[in-house]
Structure 1
Amino acid sequence: MEEFDVVVIGSGIGGMTAARLLAQFGGKRVLVLEQHYLLGGLTHEFSRAGRYHFGTGLHYMATGAGPFLDFMTDGRVQVHTLPDDFDVLHFPGFEFRIPSSAEAFRARLTETFPDEHAAIERFLAGTGRAAAGLTARNVLASFPAAVRAVGHPIVERLYPAAYRTLADEITRTFRDPRLRAVLAARWGLYGTPPATAAFGYHASVPLGFYRNGGGHPVGGPKEINTIIQQILRGYGVELRARQTVHRIATERGRVSGVDVEDTTTGRRYAVRARTVVSAAGVRNTYALLGDAVRPRWRRRLDALEPEPSAVMLFLGLDRSPAEFGVHGENHWCMPDLELAGFREPGEGTLYVSFASLNNPAARHHTVEVLELCDPAFIDEWRGTAEDDRPAGYRALKDRLTRRLLDRLAERWPGLRDTITVAELATPLTYETYQRSVRGAFYGLAATPGRLRSPLAGSRTPVKGLFVAGQDAWNPGVTAALAGGMMAAQAALRPAEMRTMWQTIRGPVVGPDGPWQGYLRVARIETLTPEISRIRLAPLDGGALPFTFLAGQYLKIDLPVAVEPIERSYSISSGPGETGFADIAVKREPDGLGSAYLHDELVAGQALRVSGPHGAFTWDPARDARPAGTLLLIAGGIGITPLLSVLAAAADAGHTGRIVLLAGARVVLFRDDIAALRERLPGLEVELFTGRRIGRDALRPYAAAVTRVHLCGPAPMMQDVLGHLTALGVPRDAVHTEAFVSERSRRTRRERAHAIALAADAGRFTVDVRGEDTAFGVLPGQTVLDGANAAGLGFAQSCGEGSCGTCRVVVLSGPSESDTRGMFSAAEIDAGWRLACQTLPTGDLTISRMS
């Protein structure tokens, strides 16, 4: 039996939102359980052919999604704006383009349908009131039952249009069937056809939420998912995938926990909690209550109209859709002007999204084609196993795929020839992976009946049980986020709720630590056949979103496979350049990352970056020893951070002596160095082309040096460190750089795991010589981790092995460590190690460096 304060069922954005709010403002211990093997609900992505990435539910967002989404992501999500005419409506014989401005939309409607000008004005004025009615109803749904019972009838009387059907509202207002069709067209944004959809949803979503255009998250929908998961873990929320909840347990009318199965191991277990938030949908939530569902609740559930589902065709292309005149706008292809219900699958309204054109980080082009439908057409195959569907089901999918491709070919001749991957999802797909009722795509149907139901909202009749997600607010991913907020509002105490809303409405507070996000490749310059300089700039111009010190580096995710690889590159431009950051990359033999940057990277592409990192820095404003010599020693591409140091010195008007010793087979950055010599009267440069920087070369500068910066290949750094020590240069005056990549982290994790598995002892003892101090280290822990756990004040900075601050001497005992060019050969022989990189394999005796 496990115990948590709150259990959240489902890791869609609604569930994750509720989890964060209850942890942050309620101080709760929160457990999130997800039945899928991927967290994130419809914000996760899948890949095909090792290169195409597809969103599963988020295809574009309204520009009005900003405030709530900014809060949930701490302002870290970057949004690419769709073209000004962001939705294009195609009807038989004519088309209509939706502009990214409410006023422009009004003007275009009037220009196109001048005879209906007065009706257009009345209609658009009324949409705001209908949307307000829907909001009032949804907010009330988060209040206790007594308040809802009184408030909901009042809302319906005050806002009757919100409860009328879309078809009714459109036909009573307009005469022109083309205008009716234009204004009703985008019902696919919430999934219920005009004949049965409540007008409040239409007024709120396509005519309200999207009134000022749309955008797409840079990096794809999974970027939102990734960021939110990082934030949740920061609040102590525990996230578990492959966990099927079989029952919501109750005691005397109150929720008491959940019964769960870990589908990876088959283990069954129970979790006790006084609060359960279900982001699995209203019908699934009541199904999990089992015998606790009372007859009147069952009748109300049965009275709700069936949920809509969808078929979706995912396409990977070998060329850009821009070749066919598409610029990133969405296309809606309507078969006629009718305001009826669903059609035969393949013959209804198609929504076509060219997501890769709106994601500057996308390497390969994709198309997503969505058609809302009644899920009944696959009823005969419901209950069959995913990997053993009958031949008739596969034949149906093939026919639907061909029909959808035929319709695309009619619109964009030649597009079909670019398709290399085509995969169709049906309601069974969503039922399998999303566990939604009959493959529901948008949750409960957006009908007047839903608005009148006491079960459609964040409250339930069971104390301590709340609903989050789409069914607690509106259909759609961003609306599901709002549904999570409603669930949290219902579960929090009044004072906690007030603090929550004050924080959400206040300025966004970004995360501590290095900046993370996307930068655009503004320029690629070939310096030599093996070395390129790459300029990274903000996506939309302006200043860099971070400042850096000379000598720091950036970590960059390189999309070379299904999952990106992380590589680190020094910034070569000076910190005074606020509009860009330059890096230089050497092609390494068999280097996956460098090969990608040299062979495949193109200007305009966005790369995910974090930074700045590193303590290999020099700040002229803080240099307390300007009279001494600043000695910069570079080997090969290791000159890049030293160029930044020189630029910082030049910008600061530094007049002290600076010596640059640079060794390489080919002299790099010759023009840059020449320009810096013009600005730095105290700069001396010696280039060692094709030869090593030996002790004799260092000897003339050793006596006067007060600070050394050394960067290059590990063997070269090891030799130079030995020479400097022999020449009497104080070790603390020498600063070295070593990058930390995900590969090096993974290697350390793998070694730590192997040590933990092989260890006979439960812990190792580390004695600190001369301090009468000892502490325990668990197998697989580093010396620094053990010291920190014991509360010892070990010197430390980065904790990753790049700064050298946590130097210790291992006097005796076995261990594994990564020196990474931080020490000379003599120092390594003397036992010098980095505490953050040293994994004991037995008892150790160490001494701390003074």
Structure 2
Amino acid sequence: MTQSWDVIVIGSGIGGLTAATLLAKAANKRVLVLEKHFERGGLTQTFRRDGASWDVGLHYVGGLNKGSRIRTLFDYMSNSALEWNKMPDDFERFIYPDIEFLVPSDRLEYQKRLIDIYPEEATAIRRYFTDLDDIYNWHVNGTIQLALPWPAKDLTSLSRRRKSKKATQTTKEYFDSRFKSAQLKRLLSTQWGDYGMVPSESAFAIHALVTQSYMDGAWYPKGGSSRISRTFETNIEAAGGVIKVCKEVTSIITDKNGKVCGVKAVDLSGDKLTEVEYHAPSVISNVGAGLTYTKLLPTDGEIGRRTAAVRKLIERIGSGISSVTLYLRLSKPVSTLGIKGENYWINTTIEQRDLDSQTEAVIAGNPGFGYMSFPSSKSGEDRFHTAEVLALVKAEHFSAWKATQHGNRGKEYLDLKDRISRGLLDLAETAAPGLKSLVEYSELSTPLSVIDYISSPSGDIYGLKGTPERYHGAALLSKSYVPGLYLTGQDAASLGIAGALVGGLMTASRVLGPFGLISIMKQVESEAKGGPCILPDGKRCLDKTKAVVNAKTALTSSIWKLELDLENTVAFVPGQYALLKVAPFEWRYYSIANIENRRLTLLISTRTGGHGSTYVEKVGVGAETEVELPFGSFRLQKNDCHKSNGGSWQANIR
């Protein structure tokens, strides 16, 4: 089976979705996005347990004040359907044994607070804020340069050269050459977790980019980060494109001239695995430089020769950091503890330990560093109360279980997770006394979770490390080695959500040619100034089926039978599931009870009180919605996560 498209995107993370959405809306390209997982969105997806939800990778985003370039792009790609909640004015709390510092949403106030504490460092502090500006612009201009036509590309390159030495020194080298106070240096480097490298490893460029992006505060998507993929999807589908989940790309296809012409994939959506080919003259990879050049393309022959240098660079830079995250559902809002929704960066020592030592401490149940946030407070959720406690770790410390299967990793692994969970909760309690008493449910993810659900082979969450060597090798990373193939996401631009989004913008621009960036931004800015929101003229995505509610029956006090008439005939096998649209940009999956003569029957529990529960209780006969089906198979497995009423059985989806 083969299908043809204008552009194929591998991976539905923020970089891939940005490129796909811009090509669809700004250039009317028919784009196919292929996602291995059953959830779209990559690190912007959320997951749910009994109605409560947590973000997987998006914790907060900077630079989203009205009129900013990033906000304008988000508004354009979501047709302004994606709303953002501003976090508290003091949005970060840095906690150390000898000092606690609140980071304000105002650059001048931030500078003033630091100078009030360290008056003898006033000159260096002022210079630091100036340098953040300069190197932030150095970084941004370097990224934009990749999509500019000549001679603008060369002129931009010349203007950046005099600042390159400062940008590509390590963060530690920068701090040591400018500040005397060890405490101040440690305080300023607290947000190293946002880019995953301690100061002795990170380039000052990545520190400046991340720190500067939060000078006006931080934002979080209203309703949760999964709204991003669903709002972007509208434009992809309007141009005749589609996001296909449960599709694992196994290789990129080239023709006899060495030009990209499509991909091979395995369809994971049915009860049997099937191979499929998709054809397009342009392929965008959002699965990382390493996986693209070492797995999806041949490493021998002519293509192997062309990519040899970049593969060596990728190996030298190495994979980034991973994480363990403790997800908590609470009985009460954290406001009862005096918490306003700010992030907590918790440190038990002023010393900066290396990553191996930090990982060993986490595994021993005695973490010295952690990040805590409160998704429900940030998203505006008032029915469920949630928290997350995260520690950064090196994934190789979990390699003993890499060959095992999710849900079947043995007692030693479960004991390890229990020890890590208790250590993280103890750490959180030191910063937020009383938190433990509110915990109703807890669940821990490890680097193996990242490998399983984000398809990151080494479990890293930030892609290639933002080291000086990465910036020295930027020309190699940005080069196109196979005609028609483009990288996007974090490895194409920079780390994090905003970095991956900018990477998607640059990639879409390059696909459209030398003036692609100018063309895209002209449309983005026109809409931002009040111009019409113009959706592409295309056919509706065929992977979704219109459905009309035919009947609903309350089988018990908490179980409903919902019957829907489908627009199209759909075949299924027992054990498969359907995605049902239950609210704008909100979808829930349910096991298919039956499909007969285009009549779909679902059984829906209202025990959790979430969006799906509300939908089935309130929906009337004749109401229209959409379903996406069929997918994979459900199987029951024991959920050994900590819960107030003990373990439970839950559905696991392939």
TM-score normalised by L of structure 1: 0.60
Report the counterpart of residue 54 of structure 1 in structure 2.
54
Cα pair distance change 1:418/1:320, threshold 3 Å: same
Deviation at 1:138?
2.1
Report the counterpart of residue 635 of structure 2 in structure 1.
none
**Structure 1 portions without partners, runs of 5+:** 514-554, 565-590, 610-739, 754-850
Residues 1:311 and 2:340 aligned together? no
Task: Give the match's secondary structure for 1:386.
Answer: coil
Cα pair distance change 1:558/1:505, threshold 3 Å: closer
Deviation at 1:238?
1.5
Residues 1:219 and 2:232 aligned together? no
What is the CA RMSD across the aligned residues, in angstroms? 3.3
Amino acid at match of 1:227: T
Q: Is the 8 A contact 2:197 2:321 kept in 1?
A: yes
Q: Is the 8 A contact 1:473 1:482 kept in 2?
A: yes
Residues 1:290 and 2:288 aligned together? no
Report the counterpart of residue 471 of structure 2 in structure 1.
451
Residues 1:431 and 2:451 aligned together? yes
Amino acid at match of 1:468: T
**Take 2:75 and 2:353, find their aligned partners in 1: how far apart are those partners?**
37
**Take 1:344 and 1:411, find their aligned partners in 2: how far apart are those partners?**
19
Amino acid at match of 2:622: S
**Take 2:586 and 2:519, find their aligned partners in 1: how far apart are those partners?**
44
Relative contact order: is structure 1 or structure 2 higher (C-alpha 8 Å, sep ≥ 6)? 2
Q: Is the 8 A contact 1:11 1:33 kept in 2?
A: yes
Deviation at 1:100?
0.5
Deviation at 1:472?
1.3
Amino acid at match of 1:317: L
Amino acid at match of 1:285: T
Q: Any residues of structure 2 matched to 1:3-402 within 5 Å, and which?
A: 3-48=4-49, 50-64=50-64, 65-142=70-147, 155-206=160-211, 208-251=212-255, 252-265=257-270, 266-286=273-293, 287-291=295-299, 292-294=303-305, 295-342=308-355, 343-345=357-359, 346=362, 347-402=367-422
Q: Is the 8 A contact 1:188 1:372 kept in 2?
A: yes
Q: Is the 8 A contact 1:2 1:272 kept in 2?
A: yes
Report the counterpart of residue 672 of structure 1 in structure 2.
none
Larger radius of gyration: 1
Count of residues in Structure 1 that have an aligned counterpart in Structure 2: 544
Cα pair distance change 1:490/1:145, threshold 3 Å: same
Cα pair distance change 1:510/1:317, threshold 3 Å: farther
**Take 1:481 and 1:280, find their aligned partners in 2: how far apart are those partners?**
14
Amino acid at match of 1:486: M
Out of 478, 503, 508, the residue aligned to residue 483 of structure 1 is 503
**Take 2:478 and 2:42, find their aligned partners in 1: how far apart are those partners?**
18
Q: Is the 8 A contact 1:310 1:427 kept in 2?
A: yes
Deviation at 1:506?
3.0
**Take 1:433 and 1:477, find their aligned partners in 2: how far apart are those partners?**
18
Amino acid at match of 2:252: I
Cα pair distance change 1:510/1:51, threshold 3 Å: farther
Cα pair distance change 1:230/1:362, threshold 3 Å: farther
Q: Is the 8 A contact 1:331 1:351 kept in 2?
A: yes
Task: Give the match's secondary structure for 2:441.
Answer: strand
Report the counterpart of residue 721 of structure 1 in structure 2.
none
Q: Is the 8 A contact 2:252 2:263 kept in 1?
A: yes
Task: Give the match's secondary structure for 1:18.
Answer: helix
Task: Give the match's secondary structure for 1:344.
Answer: helix
Task: Give the match's secondary structure for 2:502.
Answer: helix
Report the counterpart of residue 744 of structure 1 in structure 2.
622
Deviation at 1:26?
3.3
Task: Give the match's secondary structure for 2:458.
Answer: helix
Task: Give the match's secondary structure for 1:477.
Answer: helix
**Take 2:472 and 2:418, find their aligned partners in 1: how far apart are those partners?**
40
Deviation at 1:25?
3.2
Q: Is the 8 A contact 2:147 2:517 kept in 1?
A: no
Deviation at 1:403?
0.6
Cα pair distance change 1:403/1:340, threshold 3 Å: closer
**Take 1:149 and 1:747, find their aligned partners in 2: how far apart are those partners?**
52
Cα pair distance change 1:558/1:507, threshold 3 Å: closer
**Take 1:326 and 1:423, find their aligned partners in 2: how far apart are those partners?**
22
Q: Is the 8 A contact 1:63 1:210 kept in 2?
A: yes
**Take 1:510 and 1:149, find their aligned partners in 2: how far apart are those partners?**
35
Amino acid at match of 2:507: A
Q: Is the 8 A contact 1:80 1:217 kept in 2?
A: yes
Deviation at 1:217?
1.2
Q: Is the 8 A contact 1:458 1:490 kept in 2?
A: no
**Take 1:22 and 1:227, find their aligned partners in 2: how far apart are those partners?**
15
Deviation at 1:51?
1.8
Deviation at 1:305?
2.8
Task: Give the match's secondary structure for 1:506.
Answer: helix
1:92-140 CA deviation, whole Å, 9 max, x = no partner?
1210110000011011111111111111111111111111221222223
Cα pair distance change 1:498/1:137, threshold 3 Å: closer
Amino acid at match of 1:368: E
1:554-579 CA deviation, whole Å, 9 max, x = no partner?
x9949999689xxxxxxxxxxxxxxx
1:671-701 CA deviation, whole Å, 9 max, x = no partner?
xxxxxxxxxxxxxxxxxxxxxxxxxxxxxxx
**Take 2:354 and 2:82, find their aligned partners in 1: how far apart are those partners?**
36
Task: Give the match's secondary structure for 2:229.
Answer: helix
Q: Indicate the percent of aligned positions where both proteins have the same amino acid.
A: 31
**Take 1:196 and 1:262, find their aligned partners in 2: how far apart are those partners?**
40
Cα pair distance change 1:25/1:31, threshold 3 Å: same
**Take 2:14 and 2:625, find their aligned partners in 1: how far apart are those partners?**
33
TM-score normalised by L of structure 2: 0.77
Cα pair distance change 1:334/1:153, threshold 3 Å: farther
Task: Give the match's secondary structure for 2:38.
Answer: coil
Cα pair distance change 1:430/1:31, threshold 3 Å: same
Greater shift after overlay, 463-472 or 69-78?
Answer: 69-78
**Take 2:153 and 2:405, find their aligned partners in 1: how far apart are those partners?**
42
Task: Give the match's secondary structure for 1:388.
Answer: coil
**Take 1:749 and 1:390, find their aligned partners in 2: how far apart are those partners?**
37
**Take 1:510 and 1:479, find their aligned partners in 2: how far apart are those partners?**
28
